[in-house]
A = this chain, B = another copy of it.
Amino acid sequence: MSESAGNSRQGTRLDPWLDTYAARAHNLRSSEIRSLFSVVSRPEVVSLAGGMPNIKDLPLDDLAQSFAELIRTDGATALQYGNGQGYAPLLEMITEVVQYDGIRTPADNVVITTGSQQALDLVTQIFVDPGDVVLVEAPSYVGALGIFRAYQADVQHVLMDNDGLIPEALEEAIKDCVAAGKRIKMLYTIPNFHNPGGMTLSAERRPSIVDICRRHGVLIIEDNPYGLLGFHADPNPSLKSLNPDGVVYLGSFSKMLAPGFRIGWAVAPSPIKDKLVLASEAAILSPSMAGQMAINKYLREFDWYQQVKSFRGMYLERCEAMMKALQDYLPQCTWTVPDGGFYTWVTLPEGIDAKAMLPRAVTALVAYVSGTAFYYDGRGGDHIRLSFCYPPPETIREGVRRLAGVVKAEQELVELFGTNVRPDESSTRSISIPAPNQP
């Protein structure tokens, strides 16, 4: 294909560019569940897999009227390019939203991004060289792991329990990395209603986590998409509020309003904010003005906090349905009991492999995400993540009932063969990594 020796490429018939990709491109993983996805999205399958918020209860007629007014009266601005940092009135509104997390910030420290996913991508881009350590919880958000993988980070998991990240484990992980001569760039943490864990970092531990990172010069990335969706109380004080200069805080409208605009944000110390804006301008020029102005109008004209409170009640009801169904149908499992958010983290009976079980579960018309998706290192096969955000309570119950049938059959297999991988199946056939296009 090439006549120039210095630019020769091997390639294959399937992909002539195979030899041309950047090193980082080889770290992009295919979503093994994709082939399953058309099945999972069939209406007869109960999906306890996805992290899609339930937005059916939004006042769609009112929103439609509001957006129409926006385009009619301010369309030439809403349909135009914006600036890289974000639409000023929305930056202001975000400073009000984050006050619920105890954060007082000037609007100038906020950067608006294409979902908070892009904010995490940009933070990683400006901090992580290949081989740098990123500390994450064990388990951690699959979409974050995907970003860290793309930037060739050395991801180290740190133990959690029901009160969230364990300070002693964090201190030890840092010391181990330092002793091994590794360069730690940041701690990525989801303190509230963890994805996938469901637990919340206790108020008591928060100052310790902040203090440990401060002492070791480790930047904290605090990802808080579910923070306002606590069932019983306002959230614990954010890590950002405990050390504004040492924390980049990521927020999102995807769960408190809707993900369809892809509008999230970061609140960052000024020098980091400056770099985030430059990196975002290079990547996308500017975030969507239409999306930003629609959300700004919603926040100003609707009682958004009342809407959030109504979401809380709705998700609480679904969480309770999930807990009750687990008690009734899967007493041989254990699970976390969330105080908010979308997920519970279920420990399977010994010997069951969550990856190997998934195709069988889908055949039984129920879907989950294997725990292996939330680890960088292959662990997690003894866990599954169940989400209670999208299906209504009675469907959640039916999904857990179906899952219980599958687990029971797997347990019988384990008793027979000592494993739930059937003799005629290669373990590589199994499916674990969810399509990362939802949380």
Interface residues of A (CB under 8 A from B): 1-9, 14-18, 20-25, 28-31, 52-53, 55-56, 58, 60-61, 63-65, 67-72, 75-84, 114-115, 117-118, 121, 125-129, 132, 143, 146-147, 149-150, 174-175, 177-185, 214-219, 245, 254, 258-262, 269, 271-272, 274-275, 278-279, 281-291, 294, 435-439
Contacts and interface: CB of A to CB of B under 8 A. Distances in A.
Contact of A30 (B53, B278, B287): B278
A402 to B, nearest CB: 24
17 contacts: A1-B217, A4-B216, A6-B183, A20-B127, A28-B278, A30-B274, A31-B278, A61-B72, A64-B67, A64-B68, A83-B437, A84-B436, A118-B284, A260-B289, A283-B283, A285-B439, A290-B290
Nearest to A288: B262
A436 B279 CA distance: 11
Given A6-B178, A215-B3, A14 B271 contact: yes
B283 A79 contact: no
Given A24-B126, A121-B282, A288-B291, 10 more contacts: A58-B75, A64-B75, A65-B68, A67-B68, A68-B68, A261-B290, A262-B286, A285-B439, A288-B288, A291-B291
Contact of A216 (B2, B216, B217): B2
Contacts of A219: 17, 20
A436 B282 contact: yes
Contact of A75 (B2, B16, B60): B60
A398 B173 CA distance: 65
A281 B175 CA distance: 33
Nearest to A280: B437
Contact of A24 (B9, B125, B180): B125
Contact of A22 (B58, B67, B126, B184): B126
Contacts of A68: 64-65, 67-68
A80 B55 contact: yes
- This chain's copy number in the assembly: 2
A149 B125 CA distance: 13
Contact of A76 (B25, B56, B179): B56
Contacts of A174: 4, 7
A24 B129 CA distance: 8
Given A21-B126, A81-B259, A64 B72 contact: yes
A279 B18 contact: no
A141 to B, nearest CB: 11
Given A64-B72, A71-B63, A178-B5, A283 B147 contact: yes
Contacts of A25: 125-127, 275, 279
A282 B24 contact: no
Contacts of A81: 52, 254, 259-260, 437-438
A58 to B, nearest CB: 7
Q: Report, nearest first, the 3 A-B pairs whose CB atoms are least far apart.
A: A79-B260, A15-B271, A79-B258
A283 B121 contact: yes
Name, among A20, A24, A254, the residue most crowded by chain B CB atoms within 10 Å (CB to CB): A20
A439 B64 CA distance: 31
B75 A17 contact: no
B271 A179 contact: no
A363 to B, nearest CB: 23
A67 B58 contact: no
Contact of A177 (B6, B245, B262): B6
Contact of A437 (B9, B29, B272, B285): B285
Contacts of A28: 126, 275, 278-279, 282
A260 B80 contact: yes
A360 B435 CA distance: 54
Contacts of A275: 21, 25, 28
Nearest to A186: B20
A180 to B, nearest CB: 8
B283 A118 contact: yes
A80 B258 contact: yes
A262 B82 CA distance: 10
A68 B179 CA distance: 59
